[in-house]
Amino acid sequence: MLTIPSPSRRKREARAVHRSSATAQKIVGLKAKILHAKRHAEKVQLKKTLKAHDERNVKQKDSAASPDGALPTYLLDREGQKDAKALSTAIKEKRKDKAAKYAVPLPKVRGIAEDEMFKVMRTGKSKKKAWKRMVTKATFVGEGFTRKPVKMERFVRPMALRYKKANVTHPDLKATFQLQILGVKKNPQSPMYTQLGVLTKGTVIEVNVSELGMVTAGGKVVFGKYAQVTNNPENDGCINAVLLV
């Protein structure tokens, strides 16, 4: 029977970590040495447990499975294996691909302040209204983009800083192609910048790779693939990116 812990117990367990951390920071002297020795032992045990879990998924040679007598030629290159967990190779590959999606060429980028990103636009006859902002970085807008009416447009994206194509480098082929941008997947600076389509260093964009002839395992042509911007487009006047494969 599955037992669900009560909310109070669950909260108590969650807070215990913070309480122990606060105690470890304040404690001094012999008590601190005893506490740190205890925590060290706990961490060692935790690492051993995690290592045991990892080894459970790895295929190991099973000496008991190999027969004593002679083997046919077609079985000579095979080894007896024991699997604690029966995971097929396809599932393992899928997991590797899923993990690789989060491995980007530029894992860390410089934070951009709002003053650097936007320029205040003063409007009205007296020029007192200052609720409009002009985007000073490179942007991408969709194919059928139409600007809002003047009195409703909050963010202005200048025509000179709009880009439709990017110079994308394939890391395996060591070749660069000029590909069409399909959209902005994620800007690490802010979700608002992602929505506006702002292209800064480290932004993940989707590009059209149908010209490269890439196909899936099922034989279907890949249309869109993600790439990460590796330069500062507003300084260089172009977008350079690396394909995430």
Number of domains in the chain: 1
Q: Which residues, other chains included, contact 74 with Cβ-Cβ below 8 Å and sequence gap of 6+? A: none
- Asked if 227 and 201 count as a contact pair (C-beta separation under 8 A), the reply is no
Q: Report how far residue 78's alpha carbon sits from residue 210's, in angstroms, rounded to the nearest whole number.
A: 40
* The token pair that represents 5 in the structure block: 């812990």
Q: Report how far residue 183's alpha carbon sits from residue 160's, in angstroms, rounded to the nearest whole number.
A: 18
- Is 30 inside any structural domain? no
Q: Quickly count: other Cβ atoms within 10 Å of residue 87's Cβ.
A: 12
Average pLDDT over residues 2-28: 85
- Is 119 inside any structural domain? yes
At 59 the pLDDT is 58
- Is 79 inside any structural domain? no
For 151, the domain range is 114-243
* The token pair that represents 139 in the structure block: 């942007």
Q: What is the dihedral of CA 139, 164, 211, 201, to 10 degrees?
A: -30
Q: Report how far residue 209's alpha carbon sits from residue 150's, in angstroms, rounded to the nearest whole number.
A: 36
User: Binning pLDDT at 50, 70 and 90, where does residue 126 land?
Assistant: confident
Average pLDDT over residues 22-31: 91
- Is 32 inside any structural domain? no
- Is 145 inside any structural domain? yes
- Is 15 inside any structural domain? no
Q: Report how far residue 15's alpha carbon sits from residue 17's, in angstroms, rounded to the nearest whole number.
A: 5
- Asked if 151 and 121 count as a contact pair (C-beta separation under 8 A), the reply is no
At 185 the pLDDT is 93
* The token pair that represents 241 in the structure block: 């990116």
- Is 187 inside any structural domain? yes
Q: Report how far residue 194's alpha carbon sits from residue 233's, in angstroms, rounded to the nearest whole number.
A: 16
- Is 154 inside any structural domain? yes
At 100 the pLDDT is 58
- Asked if residue 196 has pLDDT above 90, the reply is yes
User: Binning pLDDT at 50, 70 and 90, where does residue 2 land?
Assistant: low
CATH of the domain at 187: 2.40.10.310
Tell me the per-residue pLDDT of 59-107, one tens digit each, with 9 for 90 and over.
555 555 556 667 777 666 665 555 545 556 767 777 766 665 567 888 8
Task: Give the distance, in angstroms, between the CA of residue 128 and the centroid of all CA atoms in the same chain.
Answer: 42
Distances in Å between the Cα of 189 and the Cα atoms of 20, 155, 158, 173 are: 34, 17, 20, 30
